Amino acid sequence: MSKMKQSIKKYMLTAVIILLLINFALFFILITQQQKPDPASEKRIRKVAAIQLNKDPNELTDEDFAKITKLEFLPQIFIDPSKILTSPMKPVCLSDINL
């Protein structure tokens, strides 16, 4: 019985050490990973900053970005021009409304 308890303790200690090593490796991977910015987001930020500073987006410098304290992104409305021409608006009369 004593040998069995010792072997169980040995296996438990080995399992705990392995779990600690796995946790350390995952933590290390999480810390060392760098977030890469989305190119589309970066392009949009450059465009809004350039409008605010009245410059070309490709000519912005670090100093230009340091001057910006607030960026406002206005919602964009996308209209498909083909639908405007192909579906004319139908006038609505009061008699067309069902209650």
**pLDDT per residue as tens, the chain (99 positions):** 677 888 888 899 999 999 999 999 999 998 888 777 777 778 888 888 888 888 888 888 888 888 887 777 666 555 555 555 554 555 444 444 444
According to the model, what pLDDT value does residue 94 have? 44
Neighbours of 50 (CB within 10 A): 16
Task: Take residue 62 and report the two structure tokens written for it.
Answer: 């670090």
CA distance 88 to 91: 9
Q: What is the pTM of this model?
A: 0.39
According to the model, what pLDDT value does residue 78 have? 55
Task: Take residue 93 and report the two structure tokens written for it.
Answer: 């009369």
According to the model, what pLDDT value does residue 69 have? 78
CA distance 28 to 21: 10
According to the model, what pLDDT value does residue 1 have? 60
55's CB contacts (< 8 A; 6+ apart) are 64
According to the model, what pLDDT value does residue 75 have? 62
Task: Report H helices in 2-38.
Answer: 2-32
